[in-house]
């Protein structure tokens, strides 16, 4: 028997497979297809203080090995999530979830995070300072070490639960941001969010996305995400949740060997709603194939 359990800041997960925020909603639609309790956890839809309609359409553009999205943090707002989504979620998911939080000011991050921190269903707070699809928030905090540290420190002051900061790859040196967040008190890091990209409609001779640019995700970015997890692992002493193009159980093993403790799966869920279940089901066999008895023992293993 292999051991697929991993631990994030004292929170033990049955396995490291976590659907990424924005690709799994609040789990309801997926729970109609399979028992999502097989997952380690999931990160629910990015939540802001106030409701957001999101960006204008078109919001999605296809690429050869993935997609570009510019949804723009569409969500019903934190009060609605607490009053409706979290209670409904308890009916079909019996583990704690990850609350993904975004904002347009430090005060918004603090208020939203403090409200979600009080919820029993929430296992940790994921502070998204890396969304490339909104103006004046998200990634604008994640590209400057001082701003990233300011948000981290402020959210940590109001949260009793672990605070993980989600980092953008759209920077010269992601390790600089990672270290700044760790020094500001972050309990862990999540990386990477999407890469900024665009497509042009040849018939219209204009950008496909209404927002012109959006976040590129999917298998095409996996090697880049793996490289950044590797680099950050060398610089910090806190857990990393790795993401970016993960589609198979083999990808999960690679991420852990590079330094991740757990892994989020994003775009794959939009192509195949059973993607995460398949990864969880295949993980034990892949571990046995490569002589791995415990996932905890291989975290950062490629560095040794």
Interatomic CA distance for residues 26 and 45, integer angstroms: 6
Helix or strand or coil: residue 1? coil
Length of the chain, in residues = 304
Give the closest residue to 113 by CA, choosing from 135, 145, 76, 82.
82
- Distance, in Å, from the CA atom of 256 to the CA atom of 248, rounded to the nearest integer, reads 13
First to last CA, the chain: 25
CA-derived radius of gyration, the chain = 18
Strands 122-128 and 214-217 come out as: unpaired
**Greatest alpha-carbon span in the chain:** 57
Which residues are catalytically annotated? 131
Contact, 242 vs 255, CB < 8 A?
yes
């Amino acid at each position: 028997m292999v051991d697929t359990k991993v631990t994030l800041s004292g929170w033990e997960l049955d396995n490291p497979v976590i659907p990424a925020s924005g690709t799994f909603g609040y789990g309801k639609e997926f729970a109609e297809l399979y028992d999502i309790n097989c997952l380690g956890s999931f990160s629910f839809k990015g939540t802001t203080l106030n409701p957001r309609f999101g960006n204008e359409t078109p919001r999605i553009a296809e690429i050869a090995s993935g997609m570009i999205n510019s949804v723009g943090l569409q969500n019903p707002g934190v009060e609605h999530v607490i009053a409706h989504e979290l209670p409904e979620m308890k009916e079909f998911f019996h583990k704690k979830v990850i609350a993904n939080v975004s904002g347009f000011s430090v005060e918004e991050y603090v208020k939203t995070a403090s409200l979600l921190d009080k919820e029993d269903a929430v296992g940790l707070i994921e502070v998204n300072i890396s969304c490339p699809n909104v103006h004046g928030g998200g990634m604008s905090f994640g590209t400057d070490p001082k701003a990233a540290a300011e948000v981290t420190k402020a959210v940590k002051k109001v949260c009793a639960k672990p605070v993980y900061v989600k980092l953008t790859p759209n920077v010269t040196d992601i390790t600089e941001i990672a270290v700044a967040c760790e020094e500001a008190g972050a309990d862990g890091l999540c990386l990477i969010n999407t890469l900024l990209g665009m497509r042009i409609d040849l018939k219209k001779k204009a950008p496909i996305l209404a927002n012109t640019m959006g976040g590129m995700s999917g298998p095409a970015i996996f090697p880049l995400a793996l490289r950044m997890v590797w680099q950050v692992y060398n610089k910090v002493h806190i857990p990393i949740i790795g993401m970016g193009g993960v589609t198979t159980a083999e990808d999960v093993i690679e991420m852990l060997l590079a330094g991740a403790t757990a892994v989020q799966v994003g775009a794959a869920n939009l192509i195949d709603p059973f993607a995460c279940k398949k990864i969880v089901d295949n993980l034990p066999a892949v571990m046995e194939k490569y002589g791995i008895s415990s996932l905890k023992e291989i975290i950062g293993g490629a560095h040794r």
